[in-house]
Structure 1
Amino acid sequence: MNPIEGHLPTRSPLHEILAPSGIAVVGASSDPTKRGYKAMVGLIKDGFRGAIYPVNPKADLILGVKAWPSIAEIPGTPELALICTPAASVPGLIAECGRHGIKGAVILASGFAEIGGEGAELEREMMAQAEAHGVRVIGPNTSGVFNLHHHLNLLALDNVKPGDVGIISQSGNMLLSLALEAQYNGQVGFSTYVGPGNQSDIGFNDYLRYLGEDEQTRVATLYVEGFRDGRKFLEVARDVTAMKPVVVYKSGSTEAGQKAASSHTGALAGSYAMTVDLLRQAGVSVVHRSDEILPVAEGLGLLQKARGKRVAVISDGGGQATIASDRLAEAGLSLAELSEETRQKLRDVLFPQASTVNPVDVAGSTDANPSLLATCMEIVAADDNVDSIFLVGMFGGYSIRFAESLLGDEMRGAEAMVDLSKATDKPLVIYSLYTPIKPPALRRLHEAGIPIYSSIEQSVRVLRALGERGDYLQLCEQYPREPALEPKPELGEMFARARAEGRDMFEYEAKQLLREHDIEVPQERVVRSDAELAEAVAAFGEAPLAMKVVSKDILHKSDAGGVKLNLVGEAALRRAREEILASCRAYDAKAEIEGVLVAPMAKKGVEVIIGVIRDPIFGPVLMFGLGGIFVEILEDVAFRSIPLSRHDARSMVEQIKARKVLEGARGEPAVDKESLVELLLTVSRIADAYPELSELDLNPVIVNADGYAVVDARVIVEREPLNENVKESAA
């Protein structure tokens, strides 16, 4: 059965390509230094069960297999061709593949778009031939492919065992590193590997979809330098993560590429932090260290998820119990509060000096009876307050540390832990000092599918991934994405008018857009003349007022001296208007100034920023953080892909480091978070409803115990019709 049937509409065509019944090796060679030789060795040594067609016009046999002078002369029709020849020959060979009915080609050669100029033109020519002849392309500039369950090993890697970890990596060296790490681990095996290379045709979203459907893959693991179509990847990731874990290590960022951005949101978008937020929103487990990739993939592949983030720690050493507690707290996990019944059962089996408050410290109780650790694990596993169990210490090494006679008891303890792992849905994760030497009890646990780690930090990273995945799956069911807004024709006309005049929305127009969709915006007046100024005074009375310049040419009003605050009375307003106009003309003599905007001062509160950007890789993205003039310096912001769910909005508010300010600091009352959540959701829906909205900045929004007030609003209008073709970037 298709593991994600009902989530993806059709079966990926990559199944035929990556599990072929026949393969042509174009450029097959008897020279051990050539990739065409190594590929033949890999196929033969791994016992590829299909037909192998070496293609070489100068050889009759390659490693004992009959060779053919050209693709056209191959007697059969393999699904896949591995092209090992130089870049210049590739477009013609792709055409030959298509004419012969070959459905996919793996292009090893470099020298294409990654070098620019002639290489980019060569890649365009290659893709023209591929599209004309119906050939799907892996690469070019790829390290290769393997499908170990199908005995397809085009990399000729030794000592890689079949397993359930699927790997897509833009770095061949990273794949080699993971393969060597798996060899040392002894239990981790791989299903499929693909190096996507330049992604000229098949991209990360295609490969992830394939791994999601592949019955041999329990966890998809990706090393990513750049997405070609990030929005499509997020869509596929939501479908796949609903059924199996996805682990991503994302390298690099594109902050340098944002220097020309004209808004706060634009300046902050495109960052590594944004990419991480969007991946997590789609249920992806993001790791930040290369040495976490395989441990997290193994743990998620074996254990899949935890119900939540409450961890019970059982330790035979107080120091390591403390370290584990520290690392768990830093990872956003909590120590489960054990019930009194659980603690009494622990007291019944442990020495009086043992601590039964989580973390549980057995305090020497297990020195002569290590299987007692399994008993403790069984006791805490029965507690409804516990989501996962973390054994910390020296299990597996008691017979080494104390007496060889304890080996039998350790093995009995290991068998009891294996039985417990089968009887409970709560993950068991084990850190042991003795992991590097692989004593018998730890080997038994590992062989039975219980992950064993040599570092507390790696163990905690796995526990975090399990807890986050469990939470994500529950929240997906509870909080679907919010329904779309119906765009209003008159607002569409306002966008069209701004575009026709070659400008962005004036602030009062941006606020009208918000107001028409029930966002609370203070009343205001545009003042273009002395008469309108008098009308504003009559309308607002003696209330303190703010005044801001209205100009399509002045983007940052404060920098131009275009803002005056706390103005009371007609005289103050007239003087402020004159000063603003003078300052702005001095700032930019050519600026067209329509007038000034007058509005009541907002009540005291916390300044936040809400922004929208249409990222070239990920599409529309919402940003939230503390506002004001320091937002770009502090960069304490959260991002989510639009449209949002209610949980997405709440999690943005809880994610920022300065969230305690929102909860009330130094005696100030807490802000109305629910009204803030509603505001985030409505802004998301507006951005989704109006594709003409290129960027939006609400900065600041003043939030307090009574709600919020949008003090300043800016909408950047899309100048040209939106281009749906998203190009590759290292975002």
Structure 2
Amino acid sequence: MNPIEGHLPTRSPLHDILAPRGIAVIGASADPTKRGYKAMVGLVKDGYRGDIYPVNPKADRILGIEAWPSVTAIPGNPELALICTPAATVPGLIAECGRRGIKGAVILASGFAEIGSEGAELERDMMAKARAHGVRIIGPNTSGLFNLHHRINLLALDNVKPGDVGIVSQSGNMLLSLALEAQHNGHVGFSTYVGPGNQSDIGFNDYLRYLGEDEHTRVATLYVEGFRDGRKFLEVAREVTAMKPVVVYKSGSTEQGQKAASSHTGALAGSYAMTVDLLKQSGVSVVHQSDEILPVAEGLGLLQKARGKRVAVISDGGGQATIASDRLTEAGLELAELSEATRARLRDVLFPQASTVNPVDVAGSTDANPSLLATCMEIVAADDSVDSVFLVGMFGGYSIRFAESLLGDEMRGAESMVDLSHATDKPLVIYSLYAPIKPPALRRLHEAGLPVYDSIEHSVRVLAALGERGLYLAQNHRQSREMPVAAKPELAELFHRAQAEGRDLYEYEAKELLRGHGVAVPEERLVRNEAELTEAVRHFGAAPLAMKVVSRDILHKSDAGGVKLDLVGEAALREAREAILTSCRAYDPDAAIEGVLVAPMAKKGVEVILGVIRDPIFGPVLMFGLGGIFVEILEDVAFRSIPLSRHDAESMVEQIKAKKILGGVRGEAPVDKEALVELLLTVSRIVEAYPQLVELDLNPVIVGADGYAVVDARVIVARDLPANASDKEAIA
């Protein structure tokens, strides 16, 4: 097994709350239908070692434990209160808890901000009391918590096994589903569970920090409906994923998310795809199916990582080998190319009809000796081209399918696999069609910490997560943050002037900003009158020109008829200018038109888009993808949180499906990817330097073999920021 390394810079204050030495159950009850009863049962039945203080003014004892009429009457020093009473009572009880010195409170009641304005006011009152008295709040509207290594089970769940999977879930039913799945699995156990509820105080980033520090947790697993402070979560995730795996299932994949008509980037931002990209950027393993959560958490907890994505498949059935190969390829994994020496060693132990190319098909060689599968695994694991080994087939069931006498061979094979797992740092993942019935050989593998799955698809998802994590850790170890740049006074003045006039940057101003930081922007001329038009013609000569309207009120120039292309000669430019002005005035009679922008036609190439938004949850985010008019239709884009590392920029270019176009198709030369990477990094630096920049669209950027040209640029300016606002203020 791979050790967990690293540490977080500060200790989470949640340790005292989630592993308390004393618990007050406010609203404790002898009524089996009440949560106050179930919590008491969970604590007593699981043998909680701390002090339990039932609070109920109408009872002397509950489950044999002395009860107290109020929080203030408790004689001891509980660190946590579980509040099982109605919402209206909570603010007053929080004040009492604070006066008693209780550090945290779990609030089960609903009826707060989730129901509307009246509940929101009650929640504000509760939080005011909590801050005044130094009480941290879990919830409200939470399903509760357990910490099984400390025998705290406030949910009174039965048959939940202590283990190393920590869970934070906004759905109580999802926790129940995972608990039942683990019970059926028989080998997965849990450390801590918390339902964050409304996150009125403690949010996902706080819980993740705690799980990152918790010695009993090897993998943190989160079911997320919505983040309260996504940017902070990403920061904490980067710290935690350097030490241990983090698995997230984000619900809401079909929601349209935040929409903004001001830019293409705004229209695509706030999406599920954006959230997934940002989580992966921070090293999080994202699962897209709810039934993948526990298998991936188990696999990452046991195996931690793989060096890369090259997988060797060993199978005792051709059909399943083919299915495994298909799923591996679809998941972005590679079938490792086995060396000739490895294939020769396989031929020495297998029948002549066996296939020794990857996937390896033993072709009946193991029917009389299933332990040969372990030998094959050992052979391929020794190959330097292999990062993970995937056993596919019926191991564990030979003695059931063929003869009971094969059980000894299977057990010897299982022991050899266990020995191999200790001798190699390459993950060994087993799929067996006999896994559901848990035969002895598979039980032995499970007991030794080798994951065994009853689904090829789940196995492949685990292999993908292991490979992604290994590559992330390797790259994260090598990469360093790009140096920021300072704002230039003459360019900052562009924002000051736009803010004073209540507008966004004109296109030529946006390009001036880019040009001032080394971005390749074609030369252009602003034309306000006939004389300037004549001067532009003289300056550019006979080259074909493009003309675009410049107006603070017309964002989508093409829609307004504000763009004319391939113009040659002064007459053509005069006619185009008149047509643009006429069309734009018809489109918006009140539009203030600054003039038209004249520039040489861009060279042919691939159109891409770069965009920036300051997301209300995640802060500044950069988007890159296929550009032009189809960007919102195809949505072939990648997102990263700003600031970018060089690896972030490189991975954005490689992520989009259109990367084959960037690599050159139908005889076209590959585009200059390095220039694209530099452009992404420069835009990231610009956003850091100018907090007044709210949104940016570079669409299209024409990329060719020898660089790029920014054809169109749009910068949305903050209306309510002072000229000297800091980046932190802009993001808040």
Conserved 8 A contact 2:257-2:271 = no
TM-score with structure 2 setting the length: 0.98
User: Normalising to structure 1: TM-score of the pair?
Assistant: 0.98
Moved more, 254-263 or 24-33: 254-263
- 1:478 and 1:531 map into 2 onto residues whose CA distance is 56
Counterparts of 1:52 and 1:685 in 2: how far apart (Å)?
55
2:36 corresponds in structure 1 to 36
| Superposed counterparts of 1:354-393, under 5 Å | 354-393=354-393
Q: Note the alpha carbon deviations across 1:86-117, whole angstroms, 9 max, x for none.
A: 00000000000000100000000000000011
C-alpha spacing 1:453/1:6, structure 2 compared with 1 (3 Å): closer
Q: Any residues of structure 2 matched to 1:191-340 within 5 Å, and which?
A: 191-253=191-253, 255-340=255-340
After TM superposition, give the deviation of residue 442 of structure 1 in Å. Answer: 0.3
Counterpart in the other structure of 2:449? 449
Contact 2:23 2:52 (8 Å CA) reproduced: yes
- Answer yes or no: is the 8 Å Cα contact 2:8–2:212 preserved in 1: no
The answer to whether the 8 A contact 2:22-2:50 is kept is: yes
Cα shift readout 1:358-415 (whole Å, capped 9, x = no counterpart): 1111010000000010011111111111100000000000000000000011000000
Deviations 1:291-337 (A, max 9, x none): 00000000000000000000000000111111111110000000111
Deviation at 1:491, TM superposition (A): 1.4
Cα distance change on mapping 1:253 and 1:393 into 2, 3 Å: closer
Match of 2:590 in 1: 590
Matched, 1:14 2:14: yes
**Which residue does 1:102 correspond to in 2?**
102
2:342 counterpart letter in structure 1 = T
Instruction: Give yes or no for contact 2:146–2:154 (8 Å, CA) kept in 1.
Output: yes
1:62 alignment partner in structure 2: 62
Give 1:709's aligned residue. 709
Identity %: 85
Q: Following TM superposition, by how much is the alpha carbon of 1:260 offset from its aligned partner in structure 2, in angstroms? A: 3.9
Say whether 1:505 aligns with 2:505.
Answer: yes
Mapped to 1, the partners of 2:353 and 2:257 lie a distance apart of 60
User: Are 1:4 and 1:239, in contact at CA under 8 Å, matched by a contact in 2?
Assistant: no
CA distance 1:727–1:541, shift in 2 (3 Å): closer
Offset, 1:30: 0.2
Structure 1 residue matching 2:625: 3-state secondary structure? strand
- The alpha carbon displacement at 1:238 in A equals 0.3
Amino acid across the alignment from 2:486: E
Q: 2:259·2:270 contact (CA, 8 Å) conserved in 1?
A: no
* Partner in structure 2 of residue 688 of structure 1: 688
Quote how far apart the aligned CAs of 1:727 are: 11
Q: 1:304 to 1:257 in 2, by over 3 A?
A: closer
Query: Unaligned regions of 5+ residues in structure 1, if any?
Result: none
Summarize the Cα distance change of 1:570–1:667 in structure 2 as closer, same or farther, 3 Å threshold.
same
Kindly provide the amino acid, as one letter, of the partner of residue 114 in structure 1: E
**What one-letter code is carried by the residue in structure 1 that aligns with 2:129?**
Q
Partner of 2:184: 184
The gaps in structure 2 that reach 5 residues or longer are none
- Read off the aligned partner of 1:481 and give its amino acid letter: R
Q: What residue number does 1:122 align with?
A: 122
In the TM superposition, what whole-angstrom CA distance separates every residue of 1:564-608 from its partner, at most 9, and x where no partner exists? 001111111111111111110011110000100001110000111
Aligned partners of 1:574 and 1:51: how far apart in 2? 87
Work out the CA distance in 1 between the residues paired with 2:334 and 2:264: 35
| 1:548 CA displacement | 0.4
Aligned CA distance change for structure 1 residues 247 and 565 (closer, same or farther; 3 Å): same
Q: Is the 8 A contact 2:259 2:268 kept in 1?
A: no
Moved more, 683-692 or 389-398: 683-692
Aligned to 1:575: 575
Once the 2 structures are TM-superposed, how far is the Cα of residue 724 of structure 1 from its aligned partner? Answer: 6.1
Q: 1:647 to 1:321 in 2, by over 3 A?
A: same
**CA separation in 2, counterparts of 1:727 and 1:176?**
37
The Cα shift of 1:258 comes to 3.0
Hey, what's the Cα distance between the residues in 1 that align with 2:162 and 2:710? 57
Matched to 2:701, the amino acid is: V
Cα distance in 1 for partners of 2:572, 2:152 equals 80
Q: Distance in 2 between matches of 1:497 and 1:6?
A: 48
Q: Give the superposition deviation at 1:8.
A: 3.2
**Counterpart residue type for residue 693 of structure 1:** L
2: distance between equivalents of 1:99 and 1:253? 44
Q: How far apart, CA to CA, are the structure 2 residues paired with 1:303 and 1:430?
A: 12
Give the whole-Å Cα distance in 2 for the aligned partners of 1:414 and 1:441: 6
* 1:480-629 matches, cutoff 5 A: 480-629=480-629
Q: How does 1:630-649 map to 2 (within 5 A)?
A: 630-649=630-649
8 Å Cα contact 2:609-2:701 kept in structure 1: yes
TM-fit CA distance, 1:476? 0.6
The Cα offsets for residues 152-176 of structure 1, whole Å up to 9 and x where unpaired, read as 0000000001000000000000000
- Compute the RMSD of aligned alpha carbons: 1.4
Asked if 2 retains the 8 angstrom alpha-carbon contact of 1:4 and 1:212, the reply is: no
Over 3 Å counting, the alpha-carbon distance change for 1:296 and 1:34 in structure 2 is same
> What is the alpha-carbon distance in structure 1 between the residues aligned to residue 53 and residue 729 of structure 2?
37
> Residue 257 and residue 461 in structure 1: after superposition, are their counterparts in 2 closer, same or farther (change >3 A)?
closer
**Contact 2:6–2:242, Cα closer than 8 Å, also in 1:** no
Query: How many Å separate the matches in 2 of 1:290 and 1:501?
Result: 51
Range with greater deviation from structure 2 (664-673 or 559-568): 664-673
Aligned residue type for 1:436: P
Whole-Å Cα distance in 1 between the matches of residues 269 and 455 of structure 2? 35
Counterpart residue number, 1:75? 75
CA distance 1:727–1:121, shift in 2 (3 Å): farther
User: In the alignment, does 2:160 pair up with 1:166?
Assistant: no
Structure 2 residue matching 1:629: 3-state secondary structure? helix
Over residues 34-92 of structure 1, what are the superposed CA-to-partner deviations in whole Å (9 max), with x where a residue is unaligned?
Answer: 00000000000000000000000000000100000000010011100000000000000
**Where does 1:326-475 land on structure 2 (aligned, <5 Å)?**
326-475=326-475
Amino acid paired to 1:60: D
Contact kept in structure 2, 1:609 and 1:624, CA below 8 Å = yes
Note the C-alpha offset of 1:688. 1.4
SS at structure 2 position matched to 1:716: strand
3-state DSSP of counterpart to 1:430: strand
Q: Distance in 2 between matches of 1:467 and 1:6?
A: 20
- Residue type matched to 2:310 in 1? R
Q: Could you say if the C-alpha distance between residues 229 and 725 of structure 1 is closer, same or farther in structure 2, counting changes exceeding 3 Å?
A: farther
Contact 1:255 1:270 in 2 (8 A): no
* CA shift for structure 1 position 481: 2.4
Offset from partner CA, 1:510-530 (integer Å, 9 cap, x none): 000000000000001100111
Measure, in 2, the Cα distance between the counterparts of 1:4 and 1:330: 30
1:462-483 CA-partner distances (Å, limit 9, x unpaired): 0000000000001112222211
Contact 2:7 2:243 in 1 (8 A): no
**Structure 2 CA distance, aligned partners of 1:165 and 1:513?**
49
Report Cα offsets for 1:274-307 as digits up to 9, x if no partner.
0000000000000000000000000000000000
Q: Give the SS at the match of 1:286.
A: strand
Match status 1:48 vs 2:48: yes
Give the whole-Å Cα distance in 2 for the aligned partners of 1:255 and 1:285: 21
Alignment deviations for residues 530-568 of structure 1 (CA, whole Å, 9 cap, x no partner): 111111111100111100001000010000000000111
- Deviation at 1:10? 1.5
Structure 1 distance, partners of 2:660, 2:694, is 32
